Structure formats: structure tokens, C-alpha cells
Amino acid sequence: MIKDGDLHFCCKGCQGVYHLLKAEGLDSFYDKLGDTKLQPATTQTEDLQKFDLEGFIKRYVKQRDDGLYEIHLIIEGIHCAACVWLNEKVLHKLPGIIEASINYSNNKAKIIWDPSELKLSKIIETIRSIGYNAYPYDPKLQEERAIKQRRDYYARILVAVFATMNIMWIAIAQYIGFFTGMRSDIKNILNIAEFALATPTLFYSGWVFYRGAYYGLKNRFINMDFLVAAGATLAYIYSIYAMLTHTGEVYFDSVTMIITFVLVGKYLEVLSKKQAVDTVDSLLGSLPAEVVVVKDGQKALVSIENVLVGDIIEIKPGEKVVIDGVIVSGEGSFDESSLTGESEPVYKRKGDEVLSGSILLDSVIRYRATKEFSTSLLSNIATLLEDAVTKKPYLEQLANQISGYFSVTILSIALLTFLGWLWYTQDFERALIVAVSVIVIACPCALGLATPMATLVGIGEALKRGILFKEASFLETTAKANTLVLDKTGTITKGKPSVVSEERFKEFDESIVYTLVEQSNHPISKGVWEYLKSKNEFTLLNVKDVKEIKAKGVEANIQGHSVVGGSLEFLREKNIKIAYSGDNSLFAVAIDGELVVLYELSDEIREQAAYAIGKIKELGFTVWILTGDNEKAAAKVAKKVGIDNYKAKLLPQEKSAFIEQLHKEGRVVIMAGDGINDAIALACSDIAIAMGSGADIALSVSDVVLLDEKPIKIYEAVVISKRVFRAVKENLALSLLYNVVAVPLAVLGYVNPLFAALAMSLSSLTVVGNSFRIKGVKWMLG
């Protein structure tokens, strides 16, 4: 605490804010903050240069594709929302700062800046200059801080429980003496003993409530901590008065039990929250800091931040893959359950991709790094999860607003209750105890926990099954959806069509076709490429003027020949005569205006696709297939998986237009695609689900990422969302029902402070316990 004249401030930030607001007013404060020095730096600056070192940047700073830098910092010294506000405003005044946002619950800041205009050391120096400190976020350090917090709670609980158990014996003696008669001197001695036990309980064990209440009041917010602290303090002050004046009864036993019950409840909440958000820290906290890199036949331990693309990494049985890559020697089984949710090991050999987060179960394998640590799948997942748990859904924002008004309302009710009982009974002691019961029994905490606890548990449970929600709010939207739109290729099918037949119309050089399809990344072109490659070894020819038209085909000039390849419609647009109809996907090639060959391809349906579609339809969904493929191919796939509604021959913009039409009909649409060819349609949908094992494009364009590509995961994502949304509504109903019943009972005098404290703690724990019932969704999913 800082004293400034007759005023006290919780921190230097609040002190600086107060004086600037008082002197200049809010509007001018925004204008002058960049030129005003709020507080001289109190931390030494000799270590600032380390923040600009290459090793430090590589380890803690993410270098984005747009050239900007991004880092997560823990801001030390933040005590209230004013501190958060001050830090964000000061940082935004720095030239080069693009984004600076701080999470009040864990003091974690996300900062994005332009390194050409600003150095990280300057950001740290600015934070220090207003009385705070900052250091990089590290999951292992966060775990140490969490352990320290739990130990602190444990010590306070021990004192509270010890005092409560002893004070109960004294209270029993006093109650017996009340009915059988007890000398006043003995009663006074027992009162003093209770006072001696209640005092450390209130001011040591209950310090967490005083601290929370103080910072709440500094921010003009009355919270649960204030209600607990006010109730216990009123009972404590009155008991001292009764003890010194020898009038009335003391309630020191109520003071200790209020603090003990609520503190134990708060401790259990801390444990539950830690368990709910452990998913992120456990992902990165368990990673090795170094890997074995093989170079010129020599092995060396290299920090994961210093591994470059192309380095050869060796892993042994039981070790976790830290960086994405491709196997260059050896073969073995990998446990990918932490990524996909599948318990069966995946056998991989030379040329196969290995994903960070998977565990090698047998053998010794060497693989070539295809990414750096900061851009690998596991790092991307952790970043997305961190963002997911900090972005609040609408219901949580609403509950928080209600909680703010709730506490003020309860205090008003308690005051009116005190005055009413005092007028009715003319008994100050009775009126005070009833008012204390009203204050203590009310629980805005349960209301505030209702949504975040359920969404945190839901996000963690989804991740265990290989489903990544990028924001908590997407759970709510998914639960309300009633229409599912599916891309065919890569979503219902495996997206790897293979040639099943070839029809030649004239002799031609296959090297020309091989060179043409090599220019395209479309799955059908890749299928033709694989087919030709399996037949012979071809040499790439001289190619120029390559044009790829989305959902149609590709054209180029190869060795002086005009070559066109793609759908039948595309070739007809080029005035090439074709007379053919079939059930499968087709890829036709024309050289110099003449059709030379037609390849017929078929794509394999994904495992359990028909079963997944059936389960989704049971949830009341209308399911559509949208595809750029021909009518017969679309109808064939739709029939196999049990979908009645489909549209074929659609261009990307036509897919998005159809989704907009569904919106006009009042539909809430989930679109599932491969995240590459369906970017426009995905962007138009209410929820975009990307299929694919962590493709970079899928992570960027989607709202939900399925790390396992099975269609059944779409069903699981919907079921988990509905279960979470139901739990949120249950939690809100439980917390509101509790307060609607409990507060009137306390007002009427039917509840004493002891039972009020116990009931208040149980209400919060009930909400927490109900949230963890979401884990039971696995029995529904199998």
C-alpha cells in the first residue's frame, strides 16, 4: 500500500491514474499519457539488454508471418483492474505496439509489436517505469507459482481449522453454561479464549478476503470477498463489544467458522480451476528443453528454440516429439492420443510425417525437422488454447454484469433487514446477526463461476478427443446450430482420389500430362500425378504461362503445346468436344485443342462416415453436401453416407452464397471442410470446422479444428458443445435458485451465520461439481 497525503493507494499504478485523472480529466489523460512520466523506475535496468539477445528472442518471442513479433508476459504487481487498464494504455502509447491485452485473472499479457520500430527491452522498461515488472510466460514457472499459492492456502486453512476445532469446545461449554448457569468470571475467561482463537483466524486465514475486498473497492466493485469480510468483521466487532461490556453473547465461533468454511470452499475452487486450465500448461510444461540433433555424424544436445528447419533429430522409445518433421531413417509406433484422442498407436516409416506432441513407443528414429518449434503443431495448439480460455462467451459476460449488481443488492437487503429487525424486535444483537447471515449466505461467486467453469472443462474434454475449439464462445454457437454443411472431397471422403480407369483418344507424350498435373495442388490433379508416377519415371518439361482456375482445372504452355486439364465443363468452355458421362470424378486433358485422355478417379469414403451422419441427423440436424464435383459423383457419395440433400458443380463463391441463403432462412450453420479449398464458405458459416491433422491453413481459417480427420469427430464436437451449454444453463439455474431461496430464509431469521457460511461455500462447490459432470460425456460418445 502507498500513502499519498491523506490518501492510500493499492499500487503505484492507481496512484498515477488518480493524479492524472484529477489534474487533467479522462479525455486529456488519453492525449497526454504518452508524454507523462507516471512514476520513476524503481527496478534496476542493467538487465534490460538480455531481452534483445537473439537466444532470448528465439526462446520466448514468436516471429509472425507478417513480420511482427508476439510474446506472452506475466506482469508482476497487478492488484486490480485499474492496474490492467494503466498498463494497457501506457503500452498502446508506445510507437510500434500493435496489440497489448492483459488477462486480469492470471496477469498474463499478450503483446504484439513491430520490431523495426520498437525493442522488447523498451517494452519491459516502460512497464517497469510505472512500478510493475514483467517476465516471459513459462509453463514450468507457472506451475511453481501455483504450488506456492496452494501452500499458502493450506497454511491458512490449517490455522483456521485448528482455531475452529478448539473454539467449538469452548462454544459447547458456553452453550451448556447458558442453560445450566455459569459464573460471569468463567464466562469472561471463555470469551477471551475465543477472542484469542478468532483473531488470527480472521486476520491471517481471512486475509485473502480482506485483500480481495480491498482491491474490489479500489475499483468500485463489491465482490464476494467483500461480503465475507464484512459479515465476519461485523460479527467480530460486536463480539468484542459484548465481551468488554459483559452484555449479550459473543459470536467468535461464528467468525472462525465463516472464515473456515468459505476458505476451504475457495481453496477447492482454486484446485478445480487449476485442474480445468491445466491442459495448456501440461502440453508445454512436459516438453524437453533440448533434443538430440545429428550433424555430420555427430550427436549434440540442442535447445528446442535453436533447432532449424532441415536439422536431423533423433528420438528414442518413450520420448515425445517436440518439433514437426518427416522420418528419414527407422520405423516405429507413435502414440498420438494427446492430439487425436485415438488410443491405438500409429505405425510410421521412412517418408511419413511425425507431429509434435506424439510419443515414440518403440525403436530409434531419426527425422528431418520441417518446422521450427514456435510454428510446430503443439505450439500452435497451445497458443490457440490460451486464446480460447481468455475469450468470454456472451453468457459469461452477462453473468459477470449480474454479479456486479448482485453484491450491491445484497448489501442493500442486509441493511434493510437490520433496520427492519431492529424496529420489530428492538434487539440490536438479533438484528445484527440476521443481517450478517444475509450478507454471508448470498453467493455471487456461484453465478460468476457458472459459465467459465463449464466452458473450461468442456474445452479440455474436447481436446482430449482431438477437437480444438479456438474460443469458448464457439461452444455456445455450436450447441445452437441446426444445419451441417459438408464439403465432399477431404471431409466425407479421404481427399485422396485415385485413378480407376484411363481412356485414351489418341497417342500423346505422358510427360506433358505429368508436367501439367505437377503444377496443381488439387486432390484430383494429385491423384493423376500419383498414377502417372507409379507407371514410369518422367522428366519435367519446360513449362510457362501456368494458370490454375479454382474448382475447374489448370492450363499451361508445355514444350510449345497448349495444354488444358480439368473437369469436362472446363474443357467444354475451351471449345473442346467431349462426349462422356460417368459416376466418378473425371480429369480430362486436351493438347492443342484436342482431347487426348480422360482419367476416371474414385475417392474412398472416410471411416464411419455414414454412422457419423446418422448420429448427427438424430440430433435434429439438416445435413447438406456441397461439392464442385459432377452430379453423379456427388449423388453416389451422398447415397453411401445417407445424406438426402446435396448440390454439385459449385464454385467456391456459389458455396458461400448457398450458406448465406441458409442464414436468411434462420438456420445456424456449421460448415466442415478441408480448410484449403473452402475458405470462403467456411468464413460465411456460423461455425467453421477444418478437417486435417493440424494443417497451418486449417488452424488459421477455422473456429474448430479436428486433429483427427474422422467425421465422427464432428458429431462429438456437437455433443460436447450441447453438454457444455446444458451445464452452463444448469449452473446458472442452480446459482440463481440457491440465492432466491437462501436469501429470503436468511432475511426471515431462519439461518444463522454458521449455516450461512456453509451453504454459501456449498453453492459454489455445487456449480464446480456440476461442471465436472461434463467429463461424463465420454459415456455418451464411447
* Strands of the sheet with 312-315, listed across from one edge: 298-303, 290-295, 312-315, 365-369, 325-329, 353-354
Cell of 631: 452430379
Which DSSP helix (H) or strand (E) runs through 311? none
Place of cell 444463522: 752
**Euclidean distance between CA atoms 524 and 539, whole angstroms:** 21
Instruction: Say if residues 291 and 311 touch (Cβ distance below 8 Å).
Output: no
CB 136 within 8 A of CB 72: yes
Which of 124, 151, 153 lies closest to 136 in space, CA to CA?
124
Cell 500448461 maps to which residue?
Answer: 281
Nearest-angstrom CA–CA distance, 496 and 516: 18
Q: Which three cell numbers stand for residue 567?
A: 473437369
Between CA 290 and CA 320 the distance in angstroms is 11
Kindly write down the DSSP assignment for every residue of 437-494, as one continuous string. Answer: HHHHH--HHHHHHHHHHHHHHHHHHHHHTTEEESSTHHHHHHHH--EEEEEIIIIIB-
d(CA 253, CA 233) in angstroms, rounded, equals: 13
Q: Are 767 and 450 in contact (CB under 8 A)?
A: yes
As a whole number of angstroms, the distance between CA 713 and CA 695 comes to 17
Specify whether the backbone of 768 is left (phi greater than 0), alpha (psi in -120 to 50) or beta: alpha
Secondary structure class of 302 (helix, strand, coil): strand
User: Rounded CA gap, 667 and 657, in Å?
Assistant: 14
Could you give the angle at which helices 394-425 and 444-464 cross, rounded to 10 degrees? 150
What the block records as the C-alpha cell of 618 is 438424430
Give the E-state strand segments of 116-224 in sequence order.
133-136
What CA–CA distance (Å, rounded) separates 582 from 602?
A: 11
Cell numbers for 625, please give them: 453436401
C-alpha dist (Å) from residue 313 to 324, 350, 378, 693: 10, 14, 17, 21
262-282 in b/e form (b: 16+ CB < 10 A) is bbbbbbbbeebbeebbbbbbe
- Checking 174-178 for CB contacts under 8 A at 24+ apart, the result is 178/249
The answer to whether the beta carbons of residues 281 and 74 sit under 8 Å apart is no
* Element of type H or E holding 111: strand 108-113
Sheet holding 594-602, edge to edge: 498-504, 594-602, 585-591, 561-566, 553-558, 543-549
- Confirm if 478 and 704 have CB atoms less than 8 A apart: yes
Residue 704 amino acid letter: V
Q: Which of 707, 710, 725, 711 is nearest to 623 (CA)?
A: 711
User: What is the spatial distance between Cα 277 and Cα 270, in angstroms, rounded to a whole number?
Assistant: 11
Q: Which residues are designated catalytic?
A: 487
Report the half-sphere exposure of 776 (CA within 13 A, side-chain side): 7
